[in-house]
Structures are given as structure tokens and as C-alpha cells.
Structure 1
Amino acid sequence: MKIEQAINQRKFKDDYHKVIVNLLFTGNWLRDALGANLKEYDLLPQHYNALRIIKGRHPEPVSAGCIKEVMLDKASDVTRLLDKLEKLDYVQRRLCPHNRRKMDINITPKGLKLLEDVEILMDNFYDDLAERVTAEEASVLSDLLDKIRG
């Protein structure tokens, strides 16, 4: 569906305005679709992102600051995200032995299992995208998005 139909707008000021509206609309659409996939696990996309970051450093611990630096959603409250993940036993926080002002965060076996289960849903999500966009188109789009960010 064209962006004009999706938001019921016939005309844009110019193609630059149209692409910004389309990016925002599509970003929200993706967030909502990912959220729907994660809902059965009582997770938000931000929780999933944080878990993937922590898993990426596994078995080494990671700090909340390091997680915040690379989160896709920079507005996320990392402390609150970690509180929930710890409550669900997906991560474990411990005082850093070398710096008592810092917390070391590790993923638990339960968190690793969760990511393994969610990976199946995510693969289906990516497969669905692959039915609508070729690998070459995805690569070009990714390059264009990089270019937009400068």
C-alpha cells in the first residue's frame, strides 16, 4: 500500500517531505509488528534489543551504559528495562568487583532460552519481508538509510 493511501493524504510538499513521513510511518509499523510478535513473551522490542546486546557480550558482563549506547531506541529507560528483565530472570545484575559504582549485567540461561524461542518468530518476520523485498532491494534501502543519517 502506498503511503498516500495508508495515511489518506493525496499530496506532499515534495519528495523529501514524503520520504520523512514514509520513514516515520514505516518505523512505527515495524515497531508495532515486532511488538505483536513479542507480546506472547510479555516483552517490548526494547527488551528484546537489550537482551540481544547482553547476549552479544556473553559470557562477559556488560554495563547499563554500554547497553544504552547501542540501543536502537535511544529514549529507552535502560534501568527500568533491566528491572523487568531481572524480575523475569532473563538477566542478572551484580556489583562490578573493580568499580563499585557500576553494575555488571549478564544474561541467564532462561534469557538465552527465551532468545532462542523468539528467534523462530523473528525468522518468520524476516521471511515475510523477503517475500516482498528482494535481497538487493533490502541492501539498497539499507544503504539509502545510512546515507540519510549522514
Structure 2
Amino acid sequence: MILENEVGLNSFRNEWQKASVSILYTYGFLSNGYESFFKKFNMTGQQYNALRILRDQYPKPVSTSFLREKMLDKMSDASRLVSRLNAKGLVEVSQNKSDKRLVNILISQKGHQIISSIDSSLSELDEMLKSLTEEEATTLVELLYKVRGSIKTVEERILEKEQVNV
């Protein structure tokens, strides 16, 4: 009954709907916490995520499509994100020599510096889940992995149906 009261519903169709709503509801709390944290560094969570990916690839430059593929938020506009990071001096963007339609993105020295300062404070984000034991956190990760697998299966089934109907 707790979740029902929190989200203003009298009941759920079944436990799967209740689990979905609970994940979405919890995502809102996590998302707000992350955005507040990164705001202290004049950055968004997506910008940090992009810099993290670029740092992990350094010194190899990456394309916008590679960045989009690795982002946590698959719906983010990677081109606009890179433009904002470039305007802040956190990345360097150059044209790809072998394919003029692509750009090479590399984290700048300033980008390295800001991500290092953020990294030293990341434990603050861990505090949001400290009500779980380490074992419970591990179990949650495993359960969410199963959920993502189930979602991918449903998406593939829908895509197959759409292709048959075309």
C-alpha cells in the first residue's frame, strides 16, 4: 500500500505494473539527485557521462555515433551535447580525415581537470542507495539486468511485427 499512496493510485493491475511504476518513480528521485549533484560543477549528468566516456577512450578520439551508443540516456542529442561541451572548452572537435561527414571528439585538458574534480566527490551519489546493503545492491543490479533483457526481447518482438506489417 505504500507505493499506491506515494503515487496516488488505488491499486495496480498486477505486480509487474507495480514494479514498473516503482522503477519509474524511483528513477525520478535518482535523476533529481544526480542533476543536483552535477549542477554544483556547472554540468549536467549527460555532460559528465559524455566526458567519462571520452576519458575512458583517451587518447583515441571518438565519433558522435560512438558517444551516443555508449551514453546512459540513449535519447540524448549527442551532437548538441558535444557542441555544449566544446563551448565550455571541455572537448576538442575536429573533422575526421578519412570520412568528412564525421567528427573526432577528444576530451581536452580542461575536461580532464573537471572530471577529476567531480570524481573525487562521486561518493556523494553513492549515499542515495546506502539504505541497501552491498549484497542487496548487487541483487538489485542483477534484477535490473534481467529487466533490461526482458525489455529488449519485447522491443525486438515489436520490431519484428512492424517489419512483417510493412
Deviates more, 1:103-112 or 1:116-125: 116-125
Number of residue pairs aligned between Structure 1 and Structure 2? 148
User: Which structure is larger by alpha-carbon Rg, 1 or 2?
Assistant: 2
Given the superposition, is the C-alpha separation of residues 122 and 5 from structure 1 closer, same or farther in structure 2, using an over 3 Å criterion? farther
* Conserved? CA contact 1:63–1:105, under 8 Å: yes
Distance 1:6 1:58 in 2: 44
- Give the 3-state SS of the residue equivalent to 1:121 in structure 2: coil
Cα deviation, residue 4, structure 1 = 3.0
Equivalent runs, 1:1-150 vs 2, <5 Å: 2-126=2-126, 128-129=127-128, 131-150=130-149
CA displacement 1:93-121 (0-9 Å, x = unmatched)? 01112222211100011101111111133
Cα deviation, residue 10, structure 1 = 4.2
CA displacement 1:50-79 (0-9 Å, x = unmatched)? 111111101110110100111111110111
CA RMSD of aligned residues (A): 1.4
Cα deviation, residue 38, structure 1 = 0.7
Residue identity matched to 1:134: T
Distance 1:33 1:11 in 2: 28
Identity of aligned residues (%): 30
* Conserved? CA contact 1:37–1:121, under 8 Å: no
Distance 2:116 2:5 in 1: 37
Residue identity matched to 2:35: G
The 4+ residue runs of structure 1 with deviation greater than 3 A are none
Cα deviation, residue 130, structure 1 = 5.2
Q: Structure 1 length as normaliser, TM-score? A: 0.91
* Conserved? CA contact 2:67–2:78, under 8 Å: yes
* Conserved? CA contact 2:30–2:128, under 8 Å: no
Counterpart residue number, 2:156: none
Q: Structure 2 length as normaliser, TM-score? A: 0.83
Unaligned runs of 5+ in 2: 150-166
Unaligned runs of 5+ in 1: none
Distance 1:75 1:82 in 2: 14
